Amino acid sequence: MNVSIAGLGLIGGSLALALKTRHRVSGFDIDASTREAALAAGIDIVGALEELLPADAVIVATPMAAIVPTLASLAQRSGNAVLLDVASVRAPVEAFGVPFHHVANSKERRAAAVGRKVAAPLPARA
């Protein structure tokens, strides 16, 4: 699988390192020193956000303020790529129109709640 990651800080960089053992991973970060550190860690780096595509999946791991603009930029060219984000706050992303699994909207945060809900299909998108 070809996975791209926008934002190579703590979360994005950790995901890239974990995923590269089984998938082709490329990444981008606006900060040159972060790109250099990721490259030194063995992550393939691209020179611009748009170069993350084409991909099977793109993970957006940017700071909160950049998530929606990054999704908007990628969505224009995403084709069949799955766009994911790792934001802890859902409202701005939901307002952008990105569907999310209903377990993320649950007040239950325990593993037992996840076990019951993750297997349930997502509701149809209007």
Helices and strands in the chain, H and E counts: 5, 5
Q: Is 102 within a domain?
A: no
Give mean pLDDT, residues 22-32.
96
Q: Where are the beta strands (DSSP E) in 20-99?
A: 24-28, 44-45, 57-60, 82-85
What are 73-88's pLDDT values in tens digits? 999 899 999 999 887 7
* pLDDT above 90 (res 64): no
CA distance 43 to 98: 27
- Which residues lie closer than 8 Å to 4 by C-beta, 6 or more apart? 25, 26, 27, 28, 46, 52, 53, 55, 57, 58, 59
**72: CATH:** 3.40.50.720
**What is the residue range of 49's domain?**
2-88
Confidence of residue 68 (pLDDT cuts 50, 70, 90): confident
Q: Is 107 within a domain?
A: no
What are 89-113's pLDDT values in tens digits? 666 666 666 554 444 444 444 444 4
Residue 112 has what pLDDT?
46
Which is more confident, 87 or 68? 68
Residue 91 has what pLDDT?
61
Q: How many domains does the chain have?
A: 1
Strand order in the sheet with 44-45: 44-45, 24-28, 2-6, 57-60, 82-85
Residue 101 has what pLDDT?
47
| Full-model pTM | 0.74
59 DSSP β-pair partners = 5, 84
pLDDT > 90 in the chain, percent: 58
Q: Is 32 within a domain?
A: yes
Q: By the 8 A CB rule, do 16 and 27 touch? A: yes
pLDDT > 70 in the chain, percent: 70
